[in-house]
Amino acid sequence: MREPLAFRMRPQSLDEVIGQQHLLAKGKVIRRCIEEKAVCSMIFYGPPGTGKTTLAGVIANELHIPYRLFNAVSGNKKDLDTIFEEAKYYKGLILIIDEVHRLNKDKQDLLLPHVENGSITLIGATTSNPLHAINPAIRSRCHLFEIKKLNQEDIQQALRRALESECGLNHQVEIDEDALSYIAACCNGDLRFALNVLEICALACSDQRIDKPLVKQYAQIKSQSMDADGDGYYNALSAFQKSIRGSDVDAALYYLGVMIQANDMDSIERRLLVCAYEDIGLGNPAAVARCTQAIDAAKRIGFPEARIPLSVAVIDLCLSPKSKSAETAIDNALRELNRHPYEIPAYLNYTPVGMDQDEVYDYLRSDLWSQIQYLPDYLKNTRFYEPQSNSAYEKILAENYRKLCTINRSNDLKKLKNGKK
């Protein structure tokens, strides 16, 4: 049985690689490494179908260095031990690890000494963000290189090569230009997906010609991957929250749509709540409450109808006054605690020891509550909260806060109880 078209069309040399000119063009880092016959451990990260594992193989071929493939999920420790034995006879043996972010601790412990002493050159491939997904011990020993999503011109170039190449379809079929463009547009930068569509269309066409109606039967628009470990996940969530923070309703709805297409309710829920409290906060607490209600409604009714309350929440948050004063306030307090160990005035202890009754906190004297000093002496009159004036609600809070700050709070509860300041 013949291999799939995508497998047959894998490049064997650097000049056959499509795209990635930021790494492979003349004078760029990967080409320079190959020209200088020098290779270091590295990790390629980027969307699926962009040629990460293929590029790793091409580097080994260009350098004429033996290489072995290892899958972090299906490979076992025995396989690694075999590779390490081979490395004793092939200096600098290249080990290409697919899905390197899935490498468990036992396998990492086996691998690290060989990467450190140079007996193994590691080239890892992952669709995940390496800063989130790759173990720091592995990451610190590798250079990180982004493999970018291919553009439509790159995809069309690869499809034409597949149509003409002896390893590919070898001129057995022709394709209309609009059909070629449609495949390139709907594959979302995934060359493997595009080649699979071309292959099935070549098998299905009746007159050795592929037209756009035929392509539409076998190709559906490939949505962005929202794998919880993937780069697309972090990028979409980041763009979503930044759009809400920047009050760009249309952009926020666009990125909400990306997550809805991925059926990623958990990420939408968490990110909306983070936005509500971090970015809107005291600017519009009512919108924060409404956001929670909208999320609850969305979870109850499920997709596709859940898109409606989620859209309501996003629009509400985007157009609400923003205030980060609550976040800034708690961060100020935490910063102080990082500088000094915390202290608590003795009269605030749950069970004060060695104090007279008129020196301890009195739960019944509500008239004194706002006159008592609650911070330790060295922090008296410290202000962690800095009100913002973006909304009518926080202006009211700010005015109340200003009045309370004028009170000369006391740590002498005995005097307070006796009516002395």
| pLDDT, tens only, 249-259 | 999 999 999 88
Lowest mean pLDDT among 45-49, 131-135, 172-176, 262-266: 131-135
Residue 382 sits in the same domain as residue 344? yes
- The rounded mean pLDDT for the chain is 88
Give the pLDDT score at 230. Answer: 54
Domain boundary among 197, 218, 239: 218
Q: Name the band, by pLDDT with cuts 50, 70 and 90, for residue 420.
A: low
235 and 204 co-located in one domain: no
Residue 4 falls within a domain, yes or no? no
Q: What is the pLDDT of residue 331?
A: 95
My answer on whether 396 and 367 are in the same domain is yes
Please tell me which of 166-180, 187-201, 210-224, 241-255 the model is most confident about, judged by mean pLDDT: 241-255
Q: Does 359 share its domain with 309?
A: no
pLDDT on residue 338? 93
267 versus 29: which is more confidently predicted? Answer: 29
Least confident of 6-15, 215-224, 344-353: 215-224
Range picked from 39-48, 350-359, 399-408 for highest mean pLDDT: 399-408
Instruction: Answer yes or no: is pLDDT of 187 > 90.
Output: no
Of 218, 252, 270, at which residue does a domain stop? Answer: 218
CATH number of the structural domain spanning residue 405: 1.10.3710.10
Determine the structural domain holding residue 259 and report its residue range: 231-318
Burial class (CB in 10 A: 0-12, 13-18, 19+), 227: middle
- pTM > 0.75: yes or no: no
Task: Name, of 2-6, 18-22, 125-129, the range with top average pLDDT.
Answer: 18-22
Is residue 15 a part of any domain in this protein? no
Mean pLDDT, range 401-405, rounded to an integer = 93
Q: Which long-range contacts (CB under 8 A, 24 or more apart) does 376-383 make?
A: 376/343, 376/344, 376/345, 377/345, 377/411, 378/340, 378/343, 379/336, 380/409, 380/411, 382/336
Report how many domains make up the chain. 4
What is the CATH classification number for the domain harbouring 280? 1.20.272.10
pLDDT band at 232 (very low <50, low <70, confident <90, very high): low
Between CA 402 and CA 244 the distance in angstroms is 30
Same domain, 247 and 305: yes
Domain co-membership, 192 together with 123:
no
Residues 30 and 136 grouped into a single domain: yes
Domain boundary among 267, 302, 318: 318
The answer to whether position 391 is within a domain reads yes
The pLDDT tens digits of the residues spanning 85-144 come to 988 888 789 999 988 888 888 888 888 888 888 889 999 998 877 877 787 888 888 999
Can you tell me the distance from the alpha carbon of 272 to that of 256, in angstroms, rounded to the nearest whole number?
A: 10
How far apart, in whole angstroms, are the C-alpha atoms of residue 288 and residue 316?
A: 9
pLDDT of residue 221: 61
Among 45-49, 218-222, 315-319, the range of highest mean pLDDT:
315-319
- CATH number where 69 lies: 3.40.50.300
| Alpha carbon separation from 217 to 173, 222, 235 (Å, rounded) | 17, 14, 31
Do 383 and 366 fall within a single domain? yes
